[in-house]
Amino acid sequence: MDSPIYEQLSSIRRQTLTDIIKAKNTGRTVMGYYCTYTPIEFALAADAIIVPLCASKKGPLAAADNDLPQNLCPIVRTIYDLAMTGSCPYFYQCDLVVAETTCDGKKKIYELLQRIKNVHIMNLPQVQESLASLSLWDSEIQRLKSAIEQQVKHSLSDDAIRQAIHLVNRETTLRKELFDLNRANPALISGKELIVISSNLEFAVDRIEAIRMLQEYIADVKVQAGQGYHIGNNSTPRILLTGCPVGEDDDKVVTLVEECGGQVVAFETCGGYKTTGLYIDETDPRDPVTLLAEKYLKVPCSVMSPNQGRMKLLEQMITEFSIGGVIDLTWQACHTYNIESYTVADLVKNKMGKAFLHLETNFSDADSENLRVRIEAFMEMIRR
C-alpha cells in the first residue's frame, strides 16, 4: 500500500544502529535477545535498549562451517556465524544477551557465545500446564531480573516493571489490530508488508514513537479500505503461514506464494499472531515477576509438549481469517516443528477440511524453483 507512514515503519531497522550508538554514548545499556520467550519488560523497566539479534543470512557461513556440524538448523548456524564473525552489528553493541534453552542446538551454541559476550541463559521448562514448570520459570524470570539489575547497576522497582507491562500491552494490542485488518476479504495488507512492519517494530529504540507510527498506519489502512482499497480479490487463495519464525531477511516462501497468485493473510509464527493473545491484567496486584512468568510460559511454541495452544490458535485463525490453505514452514533440522507438522496436518486437513502443504527448506535460494512448482500446484488445488 502506498503510504508515507509505511515508509517510516519500514526504515526503523536502518536507523536502529545509529540510535544504539548514540544511546550508548550517553551510558544506556543495550540488550539483545533471540526468542519470543524473552520478557522484554525488564529491559524497558531498566530504561535499556533491547533489540532482536540477527538469525538469518544467505550465503556461506564460514565460522559455522568450521566449528559446527552441518546438520544443524540454519537459525542456529547463522546465530553462531554472525556473532563469531562480528557480522551482526547489534550483537557487537550488546552489553548483555538474553538467551533461552528452546532447543538443544541453541543452548549449546550459547555456551560458545559466552566466550565472547555476556550471555544470560534462561532454562525454559517445556510443559506448560504444570505448577512445577511455572515455579521453575518464575525462578528463571527472577534470575534474569537480578542479572539485568546487576548490569544496569540499579534495582527494578515494581512500579517501573508495571509501567513496562502497560507499554508492552499497548504494543501487543496494536499488533493484533494490525494483523486483524486482514480478516477483511479481500485482504488489505500483503504478507510481505506485514513481515516488514512486524519485524521493524521489534527494532524500535523509541517504542512509544513506534506505537504512534503503528497507530497512524492502521488508521491509514482503514481510511484507504473505506475508499475501496484491497489486495487481490475474492478468489485469491488466502494462505496462513505457520511453523518456524520468518522475518524480512528470510521471506522467500511468502514471496513465492504471492508471486504464484496467493495471498499470505495471516502468520501464526513468532513475530506474528502467536503472541497477540498474551496480555497481563494490569489490575492484578500480585508480584509482577509472577505475572511475567505466567505470560511467557503460555507462548505456544513447538518446544512445548504437548503444544495444545498452537492447535487451538490455528483452528481459531483458520476460521477468523477465512483461510483457504495452510503452509507449514520448517527450517531444515528443526526437529520439534518438523515432527509437530504431523499434528498440524491432521488438524488442518481432517478437522478443518482445508488444504495443507508442509515445506522444509533453508535460507538459500537454491531450491526456490522447486518450491515454486509445489506452491503453484498448491494454489491451483485451493482454487479448485
Same domain membership, residue 52 and residue 200: no
pLDDT band, residue 1 (cuts 50/70/90): low
Domain count, the chain: 2
Q: Please, are residues 240 and 196 in contact by the beta-carbon 8 Å criterion?
A: no
Q: What CA–CA distance (Å, rounded) separates 235 from 229?
A: 16
Length of the chain: 384
Q: What CA–CA distance (Å, rounded) separates 72 from 333?
A: 6
Report the CATH number that the domain containing residue 255 is assigned in CATH: 3.40.50.11900
Q: Each residue of 264-293: pLDDT tens digit?
A: 999 999 999 999 999 999 999 999 999 999
Q: Each residue of 18-50: pLDDT tens digit?
A: 999 999 999 999 999 999 999 999 999 999 999
Same domain membership, residue 147 and residue 202: no
Per-residue DSSP letter, 187: B
Residue 6 included in any domain: no
Q: What CA–CA distance (Å, rounded) separates 148 from 48?
A: 9
What is the extent of the structural domain holding 222? 161-383
H or E element in which residue 239 lies: strand 238-243
Sign of the CA dihedral running 72, 75, 79, 81: positive
Per-residue pLDDT, 4: 87
Q: Each residue of 326-339: pLDDT tens digit?
A: 999 999 999 999 99
Per-residue pLDDT, 287: 98
Instruction: Return mean pLDDT, the chain.
Output: 96
How far are the Cα atoms of 29, 158, 283 from residue 162, in angstroms, in the given order? Answer: 20, 6, 10
Same domain membership, residue 151 and residue 165: no
Residue 194 included in any domain: yes
Listed residue (95, 73, 93, 91) closest to 83, CA to CA: 91
Residue 7 included in any domain: no
Residue 223 included in any domain: yes
Q: What is the dihedral of CA 188, 189, 191, 194, to 10 degrees?
A: -140
Same domain membership, residue 254 and residue 166: yes
Residue 268 included in any domain: yes
Residue 262 included in any domain: yes
Residue 4 included in any domain: no
pLDDT band, residue 58 (cuts 50/70/90): confident
Same domain membership, residue 182 and residue 236: yes
Q: What CA–CA distance (Å, rounded) separates 57 from 79?
A: 9
191-201 helix and 252-259 helix, angle to the nearest 10 degrees? 160
Q: Per-residue pLDDT for 2 more than 80?
A: no
How far are the Cα atoms of 284, 290, 327 from residue 136, in angstroms, in the given order? Answer: 21, 11, 34
Retrieve residue 195's grid coordinates. Answer: 513481515
Percent of the chain with pLDDT over 90: 97
Same domain membership, residue 210 and residue 103: no
**Last residue of some domain: 159, 179, 200?**
159
Q: What CA–CA distance (Å, rounded) separates 77 from 75?
A: 6
Residue 99 included in any domain: yes
Same domain membership, residue 85 and residue 151: yes
Residue with cell 490455528: 314
Same domain membership, residue 362 and residue 273: yes
pLDDT band, residue 90 (cuts 50/70/90): very high
Q: Each residue of 92-107: pLDDT tens digit?
A: 999 999 999 999 999 9
**Last residue of some domain: 159, 192, 227?**
159
Judged by phi (left if over 0) then psi (alpha if -120 to 50, else beta), residue 39 lies in beta
**Last residue of some domain: 127, 159, 191?**
159
Bridging pattern class, strands 325-331 and 263-267: unpaired
Per-residue pLDDT, 221: 97
Residue 97, beta-bridge partner list: 32, 119
Q: Residue 360 burial (CB < 10 Å; 0-12/13-18/19+)?
A: middle
How far are the Cα atoms of 173, 196, 242 from residue 193, in angstroms, in the given order? Answer: 19, 5, 17
Listed residue (246, 242, 238) closest to 263, CA to CA: 238
Same domain membership, residue 69 and residue 50: yes
Q: Per-residue pLDDT for 196 more than 80?
A: yes
Q: Please, are residues 253 and 371 in contact by the beta-carbon 8 Å criterion?
A: yes
